[in-house]
Structure 1
Amino acid sequence: MSNKGRLIVVSGPTASGKSTLWKRLVAHPKVDFSISVTTRGIRKGEVDGEDYIFISKEEFEHRIASEEFLEYATVHTNYYGTLRSSTEASLNAGHDIVLEVDVQGALQLAEYKLPMVSLFVVPPSREILIERLRHRGTETEEQIATRLKAVDAELAFAKDYDYQLVNDDFEKMLTEAISILGYAKESSNG
Structure 2
Amino acid sequence: MKKLIILCGASGTGKTTIQNYLLKQYGIPRVLTHTTRAKRKEEKDGVDYYFETPASFAQKHYFESVTYDGKQYGSSREGLERAWQKNAIVSLVVDTAGAVEYVKRLGKQVNVWHIEVSDKETLKDRLLARGDDAQAVKQRINSFESQRDLQIPAEIQNNTQVIVNDCWEKTTQLIDQLIQKR
Deviation readout 1:134-162 (Å, 9 max, x if unpaired): 1111x323321221123222112266351
Q: How many residues align?
A: 175
Query: Residue 79 of structure 1: which of 72, 79, 98 is its match?
Result: 72
Matched residue, 1:187:
none
Matched residue, 1:118:
112
Matched residue, 2:170:
172
In structure 2, how many angstroms separate the alpha carbons of the residues matched to 1:41 and 1:146?
24
Q: What SS class does the counterpart of residue 72 from structure 2 fall into?
A: strand
- CA drift of 1:124 comes to 2.6
Which sections of structure 1, spanning at least 5 residues, go unmatched?
Answer: 185-190
Instruction: Name the structure with the higher helix share.
Output: 2
- Give matches, 1:21-60, under 5 Å: 21-27=18-24, 28-29=26-27, 31-39=28-36, 47-55=44-52, 58-59=54-55
- Cα distance 1:169–1:39, how it changes in 2: closer, same or farther (>3 A)? farther
In structure 1, how many angstroms separate the alpha carbons of the residues matched to 2:86 and 2:42?
31
Q: More deviation in 94-103 or 9-18?
A: 94-103
Query: Residue 91 of structure 2: which of 98, 101, 106 is its match?
Result: 98
Q: Is the 8 A contact 1:5 1:90 kept in 2?
A: no
> What letter corresponds to residue 20 of structure 1 in structure 2?
T
In structure 1, how many angstroms separate the alpha carbons of the residues matched to 2:121 and 2:63?
35
Q: Is the 8 A contact 1:158 1:164 kept in 2?
A: no
Let me know the Cα RMSD of the aligned residues: 2.9
Which sections of structure 2, spanning at least 5 residues, go unmatched?
Answer: none
Query: Residue 57 of structure 2: which of 36, 51, 63 is its match?
Result: 63
- Cα distance 1:90–1:53, how it changes in 2: closer, same or farther (>3 A)? closer
Matched residue, 2:130:
136
In structure 2, how many angstroms separate the alpha carbons of the residues matched to 1:178 and 1:69?
30
- CA drift of 1:42 comes to 6.1
- Cα distance 1:166–1:96, how it changes in 2: closer, same or farther (>3 A)? same
Q: Is the 8 A contact 1:5 1:93 kept in 2?
A: no
Q: Is the 8 A contact 1:69 1:84 kept in 2?
A: yes
Q: Is the 8 A contact 2:60 2:78 kept in 1?
A: no
Normalised by the length of structure 2, the TM-score is 0.79
- CA drift of 1:180 comes to 1.5
Deviation readout 1:158-189 (Å, 9 max, x if unpaired): 663511111111121122022123269xxxxx
Matched residue, 1:188:
none
Q: What SS class does the counterpart of residue 32 from structure 2 fall into?
A: coil
- Cα distance 1:43–1:14, how it changes in 2: closer, same or farther (>3 A)? farther
